[in-house]
């Protein structure tokens, strides 16, 4: 698993495989089923699209959920060798994964302002589909200490 935790001024990442806490530097980072910033094609594309949303002033919940719903698969020659069968490797190469027995369960957005205002929004999907069965949103404020 991957855990990101911290305060308004300092974020850290922990992976159960690396077994170490690493400070996250300011910037755009991506994470999938590997370590933070592992340059998988879907992670690199999502980071690029995220950067474009920021540059174009379109950083909205709908645009970000659209980014996370990307089902485009990458060609085999661009994929990492994770030990999966080639057909499954390609099936899980998209940001949003839909297979008969494995897939994206939910997509979550977390917005935090410099003033400690937090917006958490999560969409839950029916198994094997991109049909939203539930959406939960929470707004709160937190203080850096």
* pTM of structure: 0.88
pLDDT in tens, 46-56: 999 999 999 99
Instruction: Determine the pLDDT at residue 145.
Output: 53
Instruction: Determine the pLDDT at residue 113.
Output: 87
pLDDT-derived band at 9, boundaries 50, 70, 90: confident
Q: Across the chain, where does the E strand assignment appear?
A: 2-6, 11-15, 21-24, 106-112, 117-125, 132-141
Q: Cα(24)–Cα(12) distance, rounded to whole angstroms?
A: 5
- Close Cβ partners of 75 (under 8 Å, ≥ 6 residues apart): 90
With residue 27 as reference, give the H or E element that holds it: none
């Amino acid at each position: 698993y991957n855990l990101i935790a911290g305060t308004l001024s300092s974020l850290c990442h922990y992976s159960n495989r690396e077994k170490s806490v690493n400070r996250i530097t300011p910037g755009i980072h991506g994470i999938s089923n590997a370590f933070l910033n592992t340059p998988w094609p879907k992670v690199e594309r999502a980071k690029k699209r995220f950067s474009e949303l920021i540059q174009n002033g379109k950083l909205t919940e709908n645009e970000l959920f659209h980014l996370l719903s990307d089902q485009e698969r990458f060609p085999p020659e661009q994929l990492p060798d994770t030990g999966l069968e080639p057909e499954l490797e390609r099936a899980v190469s998209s940001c949003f994964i839909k297979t008969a027995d494995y897939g994206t369960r939910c997509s979550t957005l977390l917005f935090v302002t410099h003033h400690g205002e937090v917006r958490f929004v999560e969409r839950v999907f029916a198994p094997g589909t991109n049909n939203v069965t539930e959406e939960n949103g929470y707004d709160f404020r937190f203080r850096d200490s």
